[in-house]
Chains A and B, each alone.
Chain A
Amino acid sequence: MKKPSRREKKPEVLLQGNEAVVEGALRAGCRFFAGYPITPATEISEVLSVKLPRVDGTFIQMEDEIASLGAVIGASLAGVKSMTATSGPGFSLMQENLGLAIIAEVPCVIVDVMRGGPSTGLPTSPSQSDVMQARWGTHGDHPIIVLSASTVRECYDMTIKAFNFSEKFRNPVILLIDEVVAHMREKMVLSDQEEVEIFDRVKPTVPPEWYIPYEDTPRGVPAMANFGEGYRYHVTGLTHDVRGFPTSRPDEIGPFIDRLHRKISQHFSEIQMAEYDQTDDAEITVVAYGSVARSAKRAVREAREKGIKVGLLKLMTLWPFMRSAVEKVLQTSKVLIVPEMNMGQVSREVKRVSLGMAKVSTLNKVDGTIITPPEILNRIVEVS
């Protein structure tokens, strides 16, 4: 066989997780970024400040994270795919405008490179402590999509997914990354030739006088007109009727809030992503996400070598929580081990959906260090 020449070689690059987020965002069509410096997410801002102007995009450093998300939502309403990136403290500041993006159904992507908390906490150490903040951080009942990544390649793929979901469902999408994944460098193939599915928001096809901006549709997602394209309509953070105008009528609010939730819940199978590793005959399943899933993968392999029937369920969509995936592993498993770098944010959900059908063993670490394969292996041996 002929040795491949340099030219034929795949375009391999050595990238940091944060840099892969940038590449994913650009590939997805992101052309606007507003952010505020914060460790450990700053590289995303820095690299985009270099790359966005080259593709006629816009990078702006705002006065805080509140302003950053405000600008992102404004740019998205004007028709440009937009994102911001932050860490726990900045994400806390974004919760106010996150709610506005949800109720006004404005697509946008927020990358949260997690650090330990509360407060300033552990700025340079890994953590997974924003799982619940991502779900319930903004007030009021609301739908949200939260994705996670455990490799540099997944940082790229999940950023693209995040943009696609946000455009498709007109909802903000949050990508949670552990600090170690964001700062780790791995080799990946980065090619413009590679086929990637890109989804753009559905625009109205009716003339402006027929346009109903918050109309219910079979998908639950109304067509979205961009500012300046002839469809003058009202966008508000107040509960609104199908025309976008404020309402306090129960017969209009009820169906509206229902639709907001339904547009996500009727597409669970499309949104919810997971990987199953040796779970077919597993009597024990490790449920993990982010960097911990990597440690878990190795622990499962080593436990299998010892003859223990154990598998790994790697969650890639954290919210809406994957009841179906847990139910699937419950068909064979009597013990679920949930290792995570927080005090038990996902294990609560695993317990909730497993309805007592399995023992849920929690393995929590909040000291700023990663959960290692031996720690998970020890637990597997203990419960086997």
Chain B
Amino acid sequence: MSEGTKLIYKYLRHQKKFPHVWCPGCGIGIMLGALIRAIDRIGYEKDEVVLISGIGCSGRLPVYVDFNTLHTTHGRALTFATGVKLARPSLKVIVVMGDGDAVAIGGNHFIHAARRNIDVTAIIVNNSIYGMTGGQSSPTTPYGMRSATTVYSNIEQSFKISELAVTAGAVFVGRGTVYHAKLLDSLMEKAFLKPGFSVVEVVAHCHTQYGRVNRLGSAVEMMEWQRDHAVTVEKAATLPPEELQDKTLIGVLVDRELPVYQDEYERIRERAKAAGGR
């Protein structure tokens, strides 16, 4: 049995929940593969992993995986994750969101989870569109592009999710693309092992919706675009700004130490007990 097949038998609800809902050529499967390989390498027990999602194409991911899985409301996955983690800190809590999920309806929860430094990993599949509902514009749809609700042109500026996470206080932020699958493996492993709020932004394609209305071609062509427009953080440091204008930085954007919420709260408990009283 190949390594990949072993992982499928070990981690997927392979007898129950397949075929999956995603379109042929979708990047979410590549991201799921990276997630499982990272968990397998680290060696977490399946019982100690909680995988939480919101709503959208990415929201359907937990149902396929044999962990403690929770499919929540749109944009709210991080709030549920906060409760799970604080109630049972021994659990490894991973949240999977889409771009609309994480920075439109759930934008407030995202920046506050980062600011608090809750010990949770947020994986955000950024395909620049609302795929499941039929291709409406999202906060990461680039200026000037088309969608089902911006048929004339998108007149809004887009969010840079990873940079937003850095500013909001995440201790680890990494960005990859589904073309760079091996980079995703290592980013996820680093994110899972990092105490505190870690973010992995996964730039993905939605050829079914975004690619179609913007005439960007097939899934393969869109992945080639990812390859041609990605620059590693290390290489970017050597390039002049004008060469980076239409490029996406990939790699580790930030890796820093800040106090983790649950450790700080443990100190609050000690202080509260020392203060005494009923």
Contacts and interface: CB of A to CB of B under 8 A. Distances in A.
Interface in B73-108: 73, 76, 79-88, 90-91, 108
User: Which 9 pairs, one residue from A and one from B, show the smallest C-beta to C-beta distance?
Assistant: A74-B83, A70-B79, A71-B83, A75-B87, A53-B272, A75-B83, A74-B80, A78-B87, A236-B71
B68 A237 contact: no
Contacts of B67: 232
Interface residues of A, number: 47
B82 A74 contact: yes
A46 to B, nearest CB: 13
Nearest to B267: A53
Contact of B82 (A60, A77, A96, A234): A60
B79 A80 contact: no
A150 B272 CA distance: 32
Contacts of B278: 51
B266 to A, nearest CB: 9
Interface stretch (B46-54, B156-164, B176-184): B46-54
A233 B62 CA distance: 10
B68 A63 contact: no
Looking at B73, B112, B268, the one whose CB has the most chain A CB atoms below 10 A away is: B73
- Give the secondary structure class of B's interface: helix
Given A63-B108, A228-B68, A71 B273 contact: no
B46 A232 contact: yes
B66 interface: yes
Looking at A54, A69, A80, A234, the one whose CB has the most chain B CB atoms below 10 A away is: A234
16 contacts: A54-B269, A63-B109, A70-B73, A70-B109, A71-B79, A74-B79, A74-B83, A77-B70, A97-B79, A226-B88, A227-B68, A227-B88, A230-B47, A234-B63, A234-B70, A238-B71
Nearest to A69: B79
A75 B63 contact: no
B143 interface: no
B91 A228 contact: yes
A78 B88 contact: yes
B150 interface: no
Interface string B142-166: 0000000000000000000000000
Contacts, number: 146
A34 B83 CA distance: 8
A70 B273 contact: no
B76 A66 contact: yes
A32 B87 contact: yes
A82 interface: yes
A62 B84 contact: no
A68 B80 CA distance: 9
Interface of A: 31-32, 34, 50-51, 53-54, 56, 58, 60, 62-64, 66-80, 82, 96-97, 100, 226-230, 232-238, 243, 245-246
- Give the secondary structure class of A's interface: mixed
B121 to A, nearest CB: 15
Nearest to B63: A234
A97 B73 CA distance: 7
B215 interface: no
Nearest to B69: A234
Given A58-B87, A78-B87, A227-B88, A245 B79 contact: no
B46 A78 contact: no
B208 interface: no
B17 A79 contact: no
Contacts of A62: 79, 82, 112
Contacts of B186: none
B232 interface: no
B6 interface: no
A287 to B, nearest CB: 36
A268 B76 CA distance: 33
Given A70-B72, A228-B68, A78 B272 contact: no
Contacts of B52: 74
Nearest to B74: A96
A243 B16 contact: yes
Contacts of B268: 53
B225 interface: no
Contacts of B275: 54
A50 B73 CA distance: 31
Contacts of B86: 32, 58, 60, 71, 75
A227 B50 contact: yes
Given A62-B79, A74-B81, A78-B91, 9 more contacts: A50-B272, A53-B272, A75-B86, A77-B80, A77-B84, A78-B88, A227-B88, A232-B69, A238-B71
A245 B71 CA distance: 10
A110 to B, nearest CB: 14
